Amino acid sequence: MSHASSLDHHQEERNDPQFGKASIGKLAMWIFLVTDAMSFSGFLLAYGILRATMDWPHPAQYLGINLSGFATFILVCSSLSMVLAIDCCKSKDRQGMLNWLLVTIAGGVFFLGIQVYEYQHLVHQGMTLSSFAHGNNLFASTFYVITGFHGLHVLTGVIYLICEYRFAREGRYDNGDYNRLEILGLFWHFVDLVWILVFTFIYLL
C-alpha cells in the first residue's frame, strides 16, 4: 500500500483549499446542528402560534424562574468549562483538560437534576403533560415537550461528554489534537444556546 500513503499525503494537501480548514467531522456537526435547530424551530413555532392565538397564563406565575435561572447559569458556566478544556488540550495540559471536562459533565448532570426536581414540583402543583389545574392545558403540554426535548439533548450531551472523557483519559488527546473535543464543544454550546432561547420564550416572556 505504498501508493495509498502517498495518496493520503496528497489529500492532506488538497483538502484544505477545497473547503477551508474545517475537518470533515466538524463540518458534519455543523450540518447536524442546522438540522437540530430546525427541529427546535418546529416546536417553538408550534408554541408561538398556540400562545399567540389563545388565552395563556403568565409563565412567571407558575414556573420557578429563580431556580431555572440558576440552572441556566450553571449551563452557561459548563459551556465556559468546555472551552477551557479545549484550551488545556491545545496547550497539552492533560490534567487541566480532564478536570475541566469533569466540571462540564458535572454542570450537565446538575442541570438535569434541577430539571427533574422542577418537573416533580410542577406535577405536584397540578401541571402534567396533558393537564393544567390553573388554565389552558397547552401551557403545560408545550412546557414539558420543549423543555423535555431540550433535556434529552442535555442528556445526550452528558453521555457524549462521558465518552470523550474516557478517550481523553486513555490519552487520545495528549498530543494536543483537539479536533474531536472541538466537535463535542460545538454540540455542547448549541445545547446551551438553545436553552437560552427556550428559557427566554418559555419562562421569561
Partner 1 sequence: MSGGYNEIHPEPTTFWSKYIISFDHKVIAKQFLWYGIIFLGIGGLMALLIRWTLAYPGEAFPVLGHLLFPNSAGIVPPDSYAMLFTMHGTIMIFYAITPILIGAFGNYCIPLMIGARDMAFPMLNMLSFWFAFLSGLVLLASLVLPLGAAAGGWTSYPTLSTMIGSPGAGQTLWCVAIFLFGVSSTMGAVNYVTTVITLRAPGMGYFDMPLTVWGLWLTAILNAIFVPVLGAGVILLTLDRVMGTTFFLAGASATSGSGDPVLFQHVFWIFGHPEVYILILPAWGIVSDLLSFFSRKPAFGAKATALSMTAVSVLSTIVYGHHMFTTQMSPLLTQSFMTLTMTISIPSAIFFANWLGTLWKGSIRFDSPMLFSLGVVFVFGLGGLTGLHLGTVTTDLYLHDTYFVVGHFHYTMAASVLLGGYAGIYFWFPKMFGRMMNETMAKIHFWGTMIPLNGIFFGMLMVGYGGMHRRIYNPFVYDSLKRLIPINQMITISAILMGAFQIIFVINFLWSLYKGKKAPNNPWNVGTLEWTIPSPPVHHNYDVIPVVKCGPHEFGNPNLKTGRDFQYQTEELVEGPA
6-11-14-20 Cα dihedral, nearest 10 degrees:
-150
Per-residue binding letters, 74-113, with partner 1 (x by CB under 8 A): ----------------------------------------
In our burial notation (b when 16+ CB lie closer than 10 A, e otherwise), range 17-54 reads eeeeebeeebeebeeebeebeeebeebbeebeeebeee
Using rule CB under 8 A, residue 167 touches partner 1: no
Per-residue binding letters, 53-72, with partner 1 (x by CB under 8 A): xx------------------
Compare residues 84 and 183 and give the one whose CB is closer to partner 1: 183
**Using CB atoms within 10 A of its CB, is residue 67 exposed (0-12), middle (13-18) or buried (19+)?**
middle
Using rule CB under 8 A, residue 38 touches partner 1: yes
Q: What is the DSSP letter of 131?
A: -
Using rule CB under 8 A, residue 34 touches partner 1: yes
**Helical H segments across the chain, by residue range:** 2-19, 24-53, 59-62, 65-90, 94-124, 137-170, 179-198
Stretch that binds partner 1, among 50-58, 60-68, 83-91, 112-120 (CB under 8 A): 50-58
What residue ranges bind partner 1 (CB under 8 A)? Answer: 1, 3-4, 7-8, 10-12, 14-16, 18-19, 21-24, 27-28, 31-32, 34-36, 38-43, 45-46, 49-50, 53-54, 129-132, 136-138, 141-142, 145, 149, 179
